[in-house]
Structure formats: C-alpha cells, structure tokens
Structure 1
Amino acid sequence: MNRIPLHFGLALIFSLFLACSKPMPETIPDSEINSWFDAEYEELLQMSPLQLTTQGRKDRYGEIDDMSEAAEDKKLAWMEESVAEMESKFDYKLLSPQAKVSYDLWKYQYEMEKKDVEFRRMNYVFNQMGGLHTMIPTMLINFHKVDEASDMTALVSRIKESGRAINQLLERAKLQTAAGVRPPKFAYEYVIQQSKALIQGQPFTDDKSNAPLWTDALAKIENLEKEGKITPEQAEEFRTNAMDALVSNFKPAYEELIAWLESELPNLEESPTGVSRHEMGNAFYAHKLKSSTTTDLTADQIHQIGLDEVKRIQQEMLVIKDQVGFEGDLKAFFKFVNSDPQFFFPNTDEGRQAYLDESTAFLDEIKQKLPDYFGILPKADLVVKRVEAFREQDGAPQHYNQGTPDGTRPGTYYVHLSDMNAMPKSTMEGVAYHEGSPGHHMQISIAQELESVPKFRTQMGFNAYVEGWALYSEALAKEMGQYKNPYYDFGRLVNEIWRAIRLVTDTGLHAKGWSEADAIKYFSENSSIAPGAIQAEVRRYMVIPGQATGYKIGMLKIQELRKLAEAELGEKFDLKAFHDVVLGGGALPLDILERVVKEWIAEVKASEQLQ
C-alpha cells in the first residue's frame, strides 16, 4: 500500500481547506446588468429624435436627426466606449444565459455598425424603396401625433428641420458620387417622381388639391381647434407658420434635390449589374449578406440554396395544380393564375376596398386561433391600410409599420393598391399572415412588450430573424387550418418560391454579373408573379443588396431548429413553448437563436430527468 508523505498530506488538506473556505464567485443579477443596458440605451436613443417618435415618445419632438457623416462617427465612438465599459464592468462568465445574450447583442450591434460605417458610401443614399426623402414625410404624417398645441409647434419645427436633413443627405449623395458609386438610372427616376409629388399642390403650386404635408397639417390644426385646445386665432397662426415652413424650408430643399438628381440622370446606367461593378463592391456585398442573414454563408452557397428551394417548392406546386384539375404544365398554370380575371379584384376603388376588407377578415379569423399555438400574445392592435399616394408604387411589396410599445399607435399593414392587376387574390391571404399575425405584427409587438429583457432588445430587428419568422408564419398558418381555398394555398407557395427566387436573383445580380433582364427572366420562368411586381422586386434588390436574402435563410433556420427540438424532445415537444422561446427574447442573430433553442431543449430534458 502506498502512503502519502505526511507533509504532502497536510499541504493537500490545507489547500482543500482554503479552497472550501474561499467564497465561490456569485453570478451577476440580471437586474444589475439590465439597469446598465437601459441607461446606455436611453443615451443612445436620445441621439435619434425620429427613433424616439417611432417609440411613441415626445422627447426632442421638434427635431429631426443629424444625417451627417460626422454624426455617424460620433455615434460609433460612443458605441465603442460603451462596449469597452461593458467588458470592463461585467464578467461574462458570471452572467445568466439571458444576460449573456444581451451582452453578445450589445457588442454585435456595435461591430455591425462599425462595418456599416466602413462601407457607408456604398449604400445608395437616395433610392425608391426606403429613402429618407419619403420616410421623413411619412413619419411626420403618421407618427408625429398632435395632441396639444405644443405638439403642433413641434411639427412646424420638424417641417423646417426636414429641409436641413434633406440638404445633409444631398451632400452625402454628392460624396458618394465623387467616390464613383451611383445607383441605376431608374432609382433616381423614381426618387424624382416621389419628391415632385411631395411639393405638388397647395401651398406649393396653384393646384386645387393640397400637398400631402399641408393636408396633414391642416387636419391636425383643425382637430386641435375642434377639441378646444387652441383658439381660432392660434389656429390661424399655426396655419401661417406651417405654410411658411413648407414654402421656405421644405420646398427649397426638395427643389434642390430634384435639380441635382435630374442633372445626374445622364451619368447613370440604364441596365447596370449589381454592386460588384463598384470598387470594393464584392466586399460590400459580402458584408450586406452577413448583415441580412446573420450568417457566414457565401453568395455561392446562398445562390445554391435558392436553386434547391425553387426546385423543391415547384414539386409542391404541381400537387395543387393536379388537385384543382388543371390541364397543362406548371408554366401554363402560372399563366392561368396570373391572368384569369377570377384571381383579381376590379381596378377600382371598390376593388381596392375589397382587398383591404378581405385581408382584414383573414387576420380576424386567424387571431381567434393564436392562443392554441402561442403562450405569449401581443397586446397591440393591427390595422390594414393603403399606402399614401405620394409613395405608392404599382406592384411594390406590402409592408408593415410597427406600433408604439405602449399600444397607443397600432401596427399597420400597408398595401400598394394603385394597380390592382399586380395584386392577385391568390397571394393575398399568405401576405396578410406575413405582415400581420402570426408574422410581423405579432413578433414585433411581442418584442416591444417584453419586460424580462433590457429595453434595447425590445427594439432590435435582425433581418433574417424578423423576415424569417414572418415567412415561417405563412407556412404555420396552413398548420392552423387556413388556406381553405386551394388557389390561395397555391398562393402561399407562390409567396415562398418568391423568397427562394430572391436568393438566386439577389446573388445573381450582385455576385454573378446578372443584369436586370437576367433576373427578370429567371423570376418570370419560375413563378406566377405579375410582370409589374417582378420588375419592382428586381429593382428593389438592385438598390438594397442582400436584404432580400434574409427571408428564406431565416425561415429555413427556424424550421431546422423546430425539427431539432421535435427530434430531441419527442413526446415532450410543446409547439406553444417552442414558439414562446423563439419569440420571447426579441429578434436575434440566427446563431444566437440556435444557442437559445438548444439551451431550452437541454432544460426540458433536465426537468424530465428530475421527475
């Protein structure tokens, strides 16, 4: 028998005594780090008056963001300091799993912002999709609520400020042009059209109709007067001040913008390829893919995923074609559902209202089923509206604008209805679920209403997660018993193949030298989407590279994680619980979402073993 020497044994016992007597490090309470995050986020939020308004707050209510590069640099420096403070203040190993997610997200958003600034002259400042030239007026009309006289004073101030903001953006566009980066010609043609619409009518021109912002201002002033919150004299003063701000500040900025855009038209390409034609274009596109998908997938990998998904979905389409008894191949069926009058509402105001009414009816019906599939439900209301005339485009995709966290402004599902021939009935049901519930409205509203995470997480919007969830919701609606009309179920597949085609066409345009015509050809040959909608889609991809790839990549990841959970948990798998895990932490990068789901699977398994 071997014996431990006495001096060694005493030393071992002494070291064990010290180890046992030394206090184990305690975990950092979530409340401590969450309080720090909330204070930091409030400081960050105060840098953006428009973001404050988006959240229903009236801080800095008369201001519009500084749109300069210098302001971006200042924000990035602040974020860098904040991340450094977080890393020095909190030991990652002592954080709870939920707090670790918050820590990782705070650092992730800084790293992505840093990369965005590196490529900031690559993003087209003015384009037809989400340019600030239309976003600012849209926010003033829809988000800037006027409840008191002071709110109207703030609105007049913001109309003045919008001129300054547009001038700053114009300076940035000029810097971009000097760097050799120009959008396709159609982008500026659309922006010119949109900008002219904003300064058409009273008080800018002698037209009988009023310009959009003037209509809005008059209505808000009239409402204050009706409610007795201002006198007739004050109302007249507000009308005078609003008119002066529009004519003296807003109009000159837009006139200068239009003049510059028109001077640039001869320098723009009629039929360009994607951003790879620019210097640093390939690196920029790789960054946009990472930003949009929150993965490290390459353009080639995404392109192949798209090709595979298109092929798979077409097989499902053939099943429905045969189910409805259509004679002919899939292309002939595409042509049929894309042209037969039964699949379209009349191109009239009555037809437009019918589209809105039927979409609302679908959303009302599925709302009754949500408690069977979700434990967490949104409190905020949802409305379906037509896009304002000054920014409406034939065939442009529907979209969602979030409500306020406190529910005072509902979420809005916006529909472009200027051309009803580009809005088939067959796809309407799936799009309603995508934009409404259980899609964007439900996910974003739940995120905004979360109380268990720091506030910054309630406002995050990672593209692959947000759009992936919405596309997953279209398929989930079928499990919930929707799409009773087989043509509408076919429309669901049309919507899904649309997103798969995006993987092929977006990467084709920006990484493989495809022209607009190449992308339209592929789109047309593999879907039943209306020609007008296809052109609008392809032009969207060309001006916001990478964004369209997030939908299908995100959906595939959520479906993959659900299959994993079903396989791992067997009879213990609870779909409601899975959905609550996916939605219960706000939007996440896909790798972090995977981590969260796997942690939940492990917890369920552990609790089962304890029983």
Structure 2
Amino acid sequence: MSRAGDWAAQAEKIVSSAVFPALDRQIALVKELRAKASADAGVWRVPGGSEYYVDALAVATTTTMTPDEIHKIGLEQVAELTARIDAILKAEGMTTGTVGERLTALNADPKQLYANTDEGRAALLASLNADITKVSALLPKAFSTLPKAPIEVRRVPPFIQDGAPNGYYNPAALDGSRDAIYWINLKDTHDWPKYGLPALTYHEAVPGHHLQGSIAQETKGIPILRRQSFFSAYGEGWALYAEGVAEELGAYGDDRLGIAGSLQSLLFRAVRLVVDTGIHAKRWTREQATDYMVANTGFPRPRSLREVERYCVWPGQACSYKVGHNKWVELRKRAEAELGDRFNLPWFHDVLLDGAMPLTILEARVNERIKARKA
C-alpha cells in the first residue's frame, strides 16, 4: 500500500506516462484531420447534412419551421428592430453612420464604460443588484406568483473567466442549500457598456430565467421532471420576452438608451436566425456570416467571430431564442385579442406554473386556458 507521501510522485508518473502521451496522440490526430478538413462552415457539407439541419432546428425550436421560413423571419425582424433602434439613437443625437456603426461607437463611449479595475468591477456589480431591486418591486403588477429562492450576483471566478460565457444563470439547489446565481464575466469590463446591462439583468435574473425557472421548480403540483426540464425555445424565449415585460413595468424609466440596449438584445437574436440558417441552409461562408453580424449588431469582430464559430458547431441552437420569443409574444397577443377585458397579465403569466414545455404544447396549453377563461 502506498504511503501518503507518495501521492505527488504517483500523480506525476500518471501524468507523464498516460496523460501527456494521450494528449500527443490527440494533437497528432487533429493535425491529420485538419489537413483533410473543408473550409465550408455549414452542416450541409456532410452526407445527409441538410436533412440533419431540419431535424436540428426541430429540436432547438420545438417547431416544424423550415430553414427558409426562419431565415425570412430573421431578415424581417432585423429590419424592424434596426428601425426602432435608429429612432432612439437619432433622438439621442447619434445620427452619423449605420445603426451598426452607431452601436459600435456607443459601445466604446467612455461614458458607457466601467473602469477595468477592482473598483470598476464593484460598481458594475452594484448596478446589477440595483436593477434587480428596482424591477423586483414592480413584479407584483405582472405576476401573482413570485420566486421564493433568493438570487445572488457573482463575478465569474478569474481562474475560469477565459473560457466562460459572458453571462449565465444557475438555479437554486432543490434542497435550498444554495441560492440561485447570476454570473457575469468581468475579465474585461469594457465588454459591458452600461446601456446594455439592465436588459441582461432582466434576462438572466428577474423577470427572466430566475423567475421562470424558480416558479417551475417551486411548484408542488407537477412532477419533478417537469419542474426541472429545460427547453431552450421556451426558456430563452421567455427570458427575451421578460426583457419587454420589464420595460412595460417601467423598469427602464426614462432611460432611452437602456431601451435601445433591450432592442439590441432582440436584434442580436434576430441576426442569429439569419446567420444560423445562412450558414447551414444557404451555404454562407464563415466570413460572410461574421460580416453580417458585425454590420448589424455593432458587436466587435472578435466577439462576432466567436458567435459564428459556435453556430458552425451547434447547428440550429441559436435559432431557439428568437423563435421562442416570437411565440411568447404571439400567444400573449392572442390572449389579449380573444379575452378583451377579461385578459389579465398575472393570469397569463401563471402558465409558468405548468413548467417548461415545447412551444407546440405551450400554444395548446394557452389556447386551453383562453377557452376556460371565456367559459
């Protein structure tokens, strides 16, 4: 039996005799495959790729929408959202250049940036907490059920920030041993212009992911599978819809640039519809997709390229966000139109108590609830 003092030597032996040789074999294989690899970005390039992409969209969006339908919707919504942002920017005195160019300039405006220091990071985190406090006080106007689990805002630990997403959400532990966490990557505070932060917070925390996920998790009348399940089109669609609910509740106040930030969030997801289907169904190159994203979102090229490379290796997933948002908006408008004076916003949002589900089932469930309310 090995003594405790041998652990370091044993670990070093394992790494040198097994781990390093395995990594060398992996490197050699990647180099061999790279020489044979195609520069084409889309999944259409592989046998059965076009059929696979249709299935990937069905999984991601939980609909039967075709690539052409999604591409067309994306183009239309990019144009619509660009026009809305244009009006706000002009009202704020920003009139030179395309909307994408003006957003790029706004992202670099020193007045929009927190210092890349510990003090700047602390101020940024304080602003996120202030936004959560502000919108939380308004939620009873739109929700009859609110999450019990607290949410904390935390910086992504510096030792993992290089490979971590920009912002993301972890639900609370089922047993209550850990609060929900809204993580934000502060490697570079200049990634976070101030005008876009409220929308991010309303998306990740309340009334977005934290509210939706916690309500489902805390509902006792449905099976645990439904309390814990996640469908990207449902959950990400809800979080985008929730950004708009925050605006309805007055969370942005008279901050027109904050509203522009929310619209930019929607624009980014509409651009994804165009780019993802462009790559995988219309044979766009990686450069063509990156150029389109830079021109329309105002995001810097390195970030846009990272996004495009994600879409290349994860066909369809990027379409789930805006397709889901469109369905939530459509169902709410339907309920308002059919119920008239009987429509009640907290009642509509109580569908969250049923847990996450595919969009086709969500539509059927909302239709059932409308019919029952009419009776």
1:321 matched to which residue of 2?
A: 89
| 1:540 paired to 2:310 | yes
5+ unaligned residues in a row in structure 1: which ranges?
1-236, 607-611
1:515 maps to a residue whose letter is T
State which of 27, 30, 36 in structure 2 corresponds to 1:262.
27
- Closer, same or farther: CA 481–349 of 1 in aligned 2, 3 Å: same
| 1:378 paired to 2:147 | yes
CA contact (8 A) 2:182 2:205 kept: yes
In the TM superposition, residue 320 of structure 1 has moved relative to its aligned partner by 0.5
| 1:520 paired to 2:285 | no
5+ unaligned residues in a row in structure 2: which ranges?
none
- Closer, same or farther: CA 246–375 of 1 in aligned 2, 3 Å: farther
CA contact (8 A) 1:494 1:529 kept: no
2:341 maps to a residue whose letter is E
State which of 354, 363, 368 in structure 2 corresponds to 1:585.
354
Number of corresponding residues = 368
What secondary structure, in the 3-state scheme, does the structure 2 residue paired with 1:389 have? Answer: coil
| 1:452 paired to 2:221 | yes
Worse-superposed segment, 445-454 or 254-263 = 254-263
Worse-superposed segment, 405-414 or 572-581 = 405-414
- Closer, same or farther: CA 534–332 of 1 in aligned 2, 3 Å: closer
- Closer, same or farther: CA 291–245 of 1 in aligned 2, 3 Å: farther
What secondary structure, in the 3-state scheme, does the structure 1 residue paired with 2:146 have? Answer: coil
Worse-superposed segment, 356-365 or 567-576 = 356-365
Distance 1:601 1:515 in 2: 45
RCO (CA 8 Å, sep 6+): is it higher in 1 or 2? Answer: 2
Equivalent residues in 2 for 1:385-396 (5 A)? 385-393=154-162, 396=165
In the TM superposition, residue 331 of structure 1 has moved relative to its aligned partner by 4.0
2:126 matched to which residue of 1?
A: 357
Distance 1:597 1:419 in 2: 42
The CA deviation string for residues 530-588 of structure 1, in whole angstroms up to 9 with x for no partner, is: 3332122112212222111111000110110000000111011000010012x111101
1:553 matched to which residue of 2?
A: 323
| 1:431 paired to 2:200 | yes
Distance 2:304 2:10 in 1: 39
Worse-superposed segment, 508-517 or 255-264 = 255-264
1:23 matched to which residue of 2?
A: none
Equivalent residues in 2 for 1:246-261 (5 A)? 255=20, 258-261=23-26
1:17 matched to which residue of 2?
A: none
Give the RMSD, CA atoms, in angstroms. Answer: 2.5
What secondary structure, in the 3-state scheme, does the structure 2 residue paired with 1:325 have? Answer: coil
1:338 matched to which residue of 2?
A: 107
What secondary structure, in the 3-state scheme, does the structure 1 residue paired with 2:181 have? Answer: strand
CA contact (8 A) 1:396 1:536 kept: no
Structure 1 ranges of 4+ moved more than 6 A: 240-246, 248-253
Worse-superposed segment, 388-397 or 369-378 = 388-397
- TM-score for the superposition, normalised by structure 1: 0.57
What secondary structure, in the 3-state scheme, does the structure 2 residue paired with 1:379 have? Answer: coil
CA contact (8 A) 2:101 2:295 kept: no
In the TM superposition, residue 281 of structure 1 has moved relative to its aligned partner by 1.9
| 1:301 paired to 2:301 | no
- Closer, same or farther: CA 393–276 of 1 in aligned 2, 3 Å: farther
- Closer, same or farther: CA 241–411 of 1 in aligned 2, 3 Å: farther
- TM-score for the superposition, normalised by structure 2: 0.91
2:278 maps to a residue whose letter is G
CA contact (8 A) 1:397 1:537 kept: no
Equivalent residues in 2 for 1:3-18 (5 A)? none
CA contact (8 A) 1:396 1:537 kept: no
Among all aligned residue pairs of Structure 1 and Structure 2, give the percentage whose two residues are the same amino acid: 39
The CA deviation string for residues 305-338 of structure 1, in whole angstroms up to 9 with x for no partner, is: 1101000101111221122122324244223212
Distance 1:360 1:253 in 2: 47
Distance 1:542 1:357 in 2: 36
CA contact (8 A) 1:465 1:554 kept: yes
2:59 matched to which residue of 1?
A: 291
In the TM superposition, residue 257 of structure 1 has moved relative to its aligned partner by 5.7
Equivalent residues in 2 for 1:57-96 (5 A)? none
Distance 1:241 1:598 in 2: 67
What secondary structure, in the 3-state scheme, does the structure 1 residue paired with 2:183 have? Answer: strand
1:471 matched to which residue of 2?
A: 240
